[in-house]
Structure 1
Amino acid sequence: MHLPFWLTTALLFPLIAYQGRRVRRTTPRLPEAGGPSSGQYGEGQPATTLLVIGESTAAGVGAETHDQGLASQLARHLHQRTGQTVAWHTFGINGIRLGGLIKRLANAELPDADRVLLSMGVNDTTGFTPRHRFHQQLIDLQQQLASRYPAPLYLISVPPMHRFTALPVPLRHIMGWRARQLDQIYSQLAKDCPGKFQHLTYPTVTDPHLLASDGYHPGPEGYAYIGEMLSNEFPGH
């Protein structure tokens, strides 16, 4: 049990609850990206096909179109690095938690893919999803996908919310603390079950010019930066 976290959260709860309500009230709610949710870099049959699933970052919030978003930008940088043809697809739902995503994926028409990446964790952080539940849901998701996608599920680490300048202190630090706890679950699963899970580090975005107008999500340049950083550590390339 993470007793220090819960004691600190309980002590600060009146303040962080007020700050949370204020952030929700004052932060612009940006739409999901528009346009086609798939594409390709290079000619001919793809050597690699990426599928990104998850919450607002998979939905391209902060970008106008999906080709500016995470899946597309990761595919673009992989194509530039390797010279190979890389296709991409994205399936994201703004505001969803992991349990909700699992339910939506059960009835979704998903494309074939060589690599599936999960971009998740912010809403489970802000919603205080219990760690044991988050752990089990990750296992459930991997099992749900395994029959169609036998490669490991790539877990993009929970964004470093302690650096989200749109969040006031101490809310920012509490959310960052919780995000690190959930990301530790990612790391442990990847360590214990490398054939089922792999962990990729979400790069820290500190330049305000890389953020969207809400100061919370990446903008187009932010997604390009994240895609480039992820491509540098992406296994097999």
Structure 2
Amino acid sequence: MHLPFWLTTALLFPVLLYQGKRARRDTPRLPEAQGAPGGQYGEGAPVFRVLVIGESTAAGVGVTIHDQGLASQLASQLHERSGQTIAWHTFGLNGIRLGELNEKLANADLPEADVVLLSMGVNDTTGFTPRFRFRQQLWVLRDLLAQSYPSPVYLLSVPPMHLFTALPSPLRHVMGWRARQLDRLYQELAHQAPDEFRYLTYPTITDTSMLANDGYHPSEKGYRAIAEALASGNWLPDHGRSHEKVA
């Protein structure tokens, strides 16, 4: 039970409801990225394939085309570091929650991939998805992907919503509190079932020049910063790690 959180939320509910409606009204609604949702960097058959699934960050909200988004930029960084051919694909829907994503994935025709990254949590935070249900849905997701993608699913940390300047206080702090609860659930799952889930975090974007004009989603520069941080980590399988380029 997380009684302090729910008591605080109940006490502040009229204020949170008003601020939430106002934030939705005043925050620009950016479209999903356009263009091909996949590609590759380098020539010939790829030696490593990246798939990003999830909500608005997977959908490329904040940039114009998917080539500027997270999956593409991560593949680009891996290609630059290794000199190898890296393929990428992204599958995301703006505003979706995890249960809805699972429904979409059940009928989706996704490509082969060596690693799957899940970018979720913001909409389940704002929608107050119960933690037990969120955990159940993560296992449903894993079951859906297990046959095609036997490697662990990499859970990207839930963004620290208490730092989202587009949200007023106290809404921002309550959402940040809830986001941290879901993020801890990610970490618990990764610790309890490392063969099924891994947890990945990256530095928080605080530079407003790295945000789109809604003050909420990453810009192309922001996605590049996230990709650079992820590509620099030691979480990748051997064939996705950085190697010296062949002259």
Is the TM value for this pair above 0.5?
yes
Letter in 1 for 2:213: S
CA-CA distance at 1:161 after TM superposition? 0.7
Match of 1:78 in 2: 78
Q: Aligned equivalents of 2:162 and 2:93: distance in 1?
A: 23
Whether the 8 Å contact between 1:34 and 1:66 is mirrored in structure 2 is yes
Q: Map of 1:45-64 to 2, 5 A cutoff? A: 45-64=45-64
For residue 163 of structure 2, what is the amino acid of its counterpart?
R
Distance in structure 2 (CA, Å) of the matches to 1:200 and 1:70: 14
- In the TM superposition, 1:121-132 aligns within 5 A as 121-132=121-132
Question: What pairs with 1:209-224 in structure 2 (closer than 5 Å)?
Answer: 209-224=209-224
- Aligned equivalents of 2:107, 2:143: Cα separation in 1: 15
C-alpha distance in 2, partners of 1:47/1:135?
A: 33
Q: Counterpart in 2 of 1:235?
A: 236
Give 1:133 shift: 0.1
Gaps of 5+ in 1: none
Deviation per residue, 1:59-93 (Å, 9 max, x gap): 00000000000100111111112222110000000
Matches within 5 A, 1:1-237: 1-233=1-233, 234-236=235-237, 237=241
Alignment check: 8 A CA contact 1:158 1:202 kept: no
Instruction: State the percentage of identical aligned residues.
Output: 68
Partners of 1:159 and 1:202 within 8 A in 2: no
What's the TM-score once normalised by structure 2's chain length?
0.94
C-alpha separation between the residues in 2 aligned to 1:50 and 1:122?
22
Query: Cα RMSD between the aligned structures?
Result: 0.8
Q: TM-score, normalised by structure 1?
A: 0.98
The one-letter code of the counterpart of 1:235 is L
Provide, for residues 107-134 of structure 1, a one-character-per-residue CA deviation record: whole Å limited to 9, x for no partner.
1111011101100000000000000000
8 Å CA contact 1:212–1:218 kept in 2: the answer is: yes
Could you say what secondary structure the match of 1:58 adopts?
helix
Contact 1:203 1:230 in 2 (8 A): no
Write the distance in 2 (CA, Å) between the matches of 1:198 and 1:125. 20
Misfit runs of 4+, over 3 Å: none
